[in-house]
Amino acid sequence: MSLRSKRYLHQKLSDPRFLAAFISSRIGQTIAAQVRVLRQREQMSQADLAKCLGTSQNAIYRLENPRYIKHNTSTLKRVAEFFKVGLIVRFAPLSEIVDWTNNLSETSINVPDLTHDTGFVDFEEPESVEADRIARLLTVNDVNAASGAANAPTSQQRSESLGDPVSTSQDPHRMNVQRSLTNYGASQAPERRGVLANG
């Protein structure tokens, strides 16, 4: 039996005590680990971080305590701003939480800051790639002009029909960027799977 399987959790979450424990443990463990890792990554002590945030060391200690769940949204926002990461505070279907926790990656906990956030890679096209795309679109425009502009596809349709060279996984520049960025916090996580000794 898996403590994290959807079937098991769907059944157990109908028990109010289990539901409360599920929500508390996910909030407590996740926030505690994220704050601790963000701080340790910057080689800061709890006192250092407290000083930077204008709060007490005890407040940081509480944030890093997995049992603490009385988080103040404005404190979390200050932590997010300081480390240049985002903060999501919203209600969500329980299944979404289960999916999120079952599919955790290193960056889910060791959250990349703005400088190392690969989600912005698409906006960092080199000039040569941008020029190539424009050249190809211009060629299509010429064809459209010859056959009548009324039926000219929108720019989005043009991109789709051509196969946007930047958005494909084959684009060598993008792959290089991704490769270099994934070196950040290179994964040495001790497991994707646990191993258990018999007994």
Partner 1 sequence: MDRFAVELGPEAQNDLAAVLDVLRVLERKFWTRPQFDVLHGKKYKGIGEIRFDGENKTYRVFGYFGPARLQFTLLLGCEKKGPLKHEMDEAAKRKKFAEENPGVLYVFTF
As measured in angstroms, the least distance from the Cβ of 71 to partner 1 is: 15
85-91 contacts, C-beta under 8 A, 24 or more apart:
85/38, 85/111, 85/112, 85/113, 85/114
> Which residue in the set 6, 10, 11, 18 belongs to the binding site for partner 1 (CB under 8 A)?
18
How deeply is 141 buried, as exposed, middle or buried, from its count of CB atoms within 10 A (0-12, 13-18, 19+)? Answer: middle
As measured in angstroms, the least distance from the Cβ of 190 to partner 1 is: 5
> Which residue in the set 6, 10, 11, 15 belongs to the binding site for partner 1 (CB under 8 A)?
15
- Contact flag: residue 28 with partner 1 (CB under 8 A): yes
DSSP-derived letter for residue 89 is -
Binding map of partner 1 across residues 102-121, x = CB under 8 A, - = no contact: --xxx-xxx-----------
How deeply is 84 buried, as exposed, middle or buried, from its count of CB atoms within 10 A (0-12, 13-18, 19+)? Answer: middle
Residues within the interface to partner 1 (CB under 8 A): 1-4, 12, 15, 17-18, 21-22, 24-26, 28-30, 32-33, 36-37, 40, 64-67, 101, 104-106, 108-110, 185, 187-199
